[in-house]
């Protein structure tokens, strides 16, 4: 799933995971789970983050996302966690009873890049660059 622009081609796909502060089971109820899914999808769309897969568990979130090439991973987390927190408090005021200081998500997070090519294939490709380029030059 390569993204291309006038001066770039690349892929920025990540598996992200984060949880509510104190790992409270805030999404045990189906209505809260659906609300969180809806909000995360809205926030992602607003910021050009593509959610490829999303799983809202009772006490944490898993998401596979593709981010724009101009966006850092930390910015993607900031947008997803910050805007969703704001919207969750706005749409479900009872969440403020659990988090009176207004911090819904914990500071922690997990991330890992995801690609169609594994590490060994990439390392082999990089190691063989001279050979690959020589082969291309000999075609001219």
Q: What is the pLDDT of residue 5?
A: 77
Instruction: Classify residue 105 by burial, with Cβ atoms within 10 Å: 0-12, 13-18, 19+.
Output: buried
Contact 16, 63 (CB under 8 A): yes
Q: What is the pLDDT of residue 140?
A: 63
More confident residue, 124 or 71: 71
Residues 38-62: tens digit of each pLDDT? 999 999 999 999 999 999 999 999 9
Q: What is the pLDDT of residue 54?
A: 94
Domain holding 119, by residue range, is 3-138
Residues 87-129: tens digit of each pLDDT? 999 999 999 999 999 999 999 999 999 987 776 887 787 788 8
- CA pair distance 24, 86, nearest whole angstrom: 17
Q: What is the pLDDT of residue 102?
A: 94
User: Could you give the number of structural domains in the chain?
Assistant: 1
Q: What is the pLDDT of residue 128?
A: 86
State the pTM of this model.
0.84
How far is CA 72 from its chain centroid?
11
The alpha-carbon radius of gyration of the chain (Å, integer) is 20
Tokens of 96: 């403020």
CATH code, domain with 21: 3.30.70.1290
Q: What is the pLDDT of residue 75?
A: 98
């Amino acid at each position: 799933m390569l993204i291309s622009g006038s001066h770039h081609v690349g892929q920025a796909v990540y598996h992200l995971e984060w949880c509510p502060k104190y790992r409270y089971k805030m999404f045990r109820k189906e209505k809260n789970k659906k609300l969180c899914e809806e909000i995360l999808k809205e926030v992602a769309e607003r910021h050009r983050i593509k959610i490829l897969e999303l799983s809202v568990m009772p006490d944490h979130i898993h998401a596979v996302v593709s981010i724009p090439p101009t966006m850092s991973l930390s910015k993607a987390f900031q947008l997803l966690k910050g805007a969703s927190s704001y919207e969750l408090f706005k749409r479900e005021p009872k969440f403020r009873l659990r988090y009176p200081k207004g911090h819904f998500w914990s500071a922690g997070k997990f991330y890992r890049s995801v690609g169609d090519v594994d590490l060994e294939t990439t390392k082999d490709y990089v190691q063989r660059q001279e050979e690959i380029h020589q082969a291309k030059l000999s075609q001219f």
